[in-house]
Structure 1
Amino acid sequence: MTRRIATVLACLSLLWLGGCERAMHDMYQQPKDEPGEPSPLFANGSSQRPPPPGAVVYSASEAADTSSGRRGLVTPPAYRSVAAVPLDQQGRSRVQGEPRTVPRDNPRAVTMALLERGQERYGIYCAACHGLDGRGDGMVPRRGYPSPPSYHSERLRQAPDSHFYNVITHGYGVMYPYADRVAPDDRWAIVAYVRALQLSQHLPAAQLSAADRDVLAAGTAARRGARQ
């Protein structure tokens, strides 16, 4: 009796395994449209969808062209090298423009809404390397990745807004270009927030209100007391 039960269970196990294999093949061979195939789902009758407005084509190698069916259909933008974007002796970016249309100063009105948007985008795309306060000590360099320069260095405090915009767009050193993931308006919002970070550490005390100066003085006194 025990042998008969074991035989039945073994047969059921084989049937179950066979069913799993068929289910796996169903996953491998599920219905899909190949690039360029016709489809009644879309108004133009093609299954191949155009990129959304403002999309930046980045994967443009031979393999990408072949696998995506875009060979000869899309000309990728001529981005500059990921090599460093240099500054001159006055801290001005030697690379101006995208290619030559980026203004030196932020063209967006700096409002609280713009700064809040910049803070949000900065937290998503920048803080991991540049740190929450812009000193270049984010979680990524703490784990061995090259540290980016501090935004509070004299060189970057004197750099024009267009320098930061171009770095976000084209990359800098080991930093990857972010043009394909950060929209132009958001780049300017990030630039505005970086300026706010710089100002937060370098605003002359004389420009503070009386109430803020009192808070600053109290904090300075507390730190001195803690060191004594």
Structure 2
Amino acid sequence: MSRLMGLAILTLGLVMSLTACDQEPMANQPKYETYEAAPEWPDNQSARDPVAGTVPRDAPVELSVSDTLPMPLTRELLERGQAQFNIYCSPCHARTGYGNGMIVQRGFPSPPSLHNDRLRNAPLRHFYDVITDGYGVMYSYADRVPPHDRWAIAAYIQALQLSQYARFEDLTKEQRAKLPQQDSTATETTTSAGGGRQ
């Protein structure tokens, strides 16, 4: 009896599965083709605009980004970069960029100084890519820092580097005139004491 019952259930299952395989209604259901007008939808479009800040899963990421800053370099951009650097980068790199941040002082591996020759000569895009993809023990910040802020941080890093290696000869006459005049005796005292600028 149980063998007959099993055969009956198997037959019933087979019959039900065959009736479910009819693809005709699914294949011919009402739908919009790509870019087809849709009078009942907003803006008469069947395709919706992506949500701001999203990237399609299979799309190449940010191919349009160049090695140069894709926005104007402004004081506001540098201030934004400094604020974001202080939040995300200074725990390891320190606010000065020398790589001795608070977690490094507590035993985390030290990142390279942003003021070494290799990084001072690195293109702006290098810093953007490191923030995006991570490097060494540094993990990616792509999910925390949006692209605009990554560029702002990269620009700020180069300004920070410049602040440590700016030469008097690089300044314009107007910039030199704004600097306080140095007393030559104070300079001689500092030099003779073995101090000098650090």
Q: Which of 163, 166, 170 matches 1:200?
A: 163
The 2-side partners of 1:216 and 1:187 are apart by 42
Aligned: 1:118 with 2:81? yes
Larger Rg: 2
Distance in 2, matches of 1:222 and 1:211, equals 24
Query: Relative contact order, CA 8 A, sep 6+: which one is greater?
Result: 1
Aligned residues: 142
Q: TM (normalized to structure 2)?
A: 0.61
- Provide the residue aligned with 1:156 in structure 2: 119
Q: Distance in 2 between matches of 1:117 and 1:199?
A: 17
2:153 alignment partner, one of 172, 176, 190: 190
Amino acid at match of 2:115: H
Partners of 1:128 and 1:140 within 8 A in 2: yes
TM-score by length of 1: 0.54
Check whether the contact 1:135–1:151 (CA below 8 A) recurs between aligned residues: yes
1:89-137 Cα distance to aligned partner (Å, 9 max, x none): xxxxxxxx94643311112211110011111111110111111111111
Give the unaligned 5+ runs of structure 2: 1-50
- Which stretches in structure 1 are left out of the alignment for 5+ residues? 1-51, 57-73, 79-96
Q: Distance in 1 between matches of 2:121 and 2:106?
A: 29
Are the structure 2 counterparts of residues 114 and 174 from structure 1 closer, same or farther at C-alpha, using a change threshold of 3 Å? same
Q: CA deviation at 1:219?
A: 8.0
String of CA shifts for 1:66-89, please: whole Å, max 9, x gaps: xxxxxxxx95x79xxxxxxxxxxx
Moved over 6 A (4+): 216-219
Q: Which residue of 1 aligns with 2:140?
A: 177
Match of 1:105, SS state, is coil
Greater CA drift, 217-226 or 202-211: 217-226
Whole-angstrom CA distance in 1 between matches of 2:111 and 2:183: 29
CA RMSD of aligned residues (A): 3.1
Structure 1 225/187 Cα, relative in aligned 2: closer, same or farther at 3 Å? Answer: same
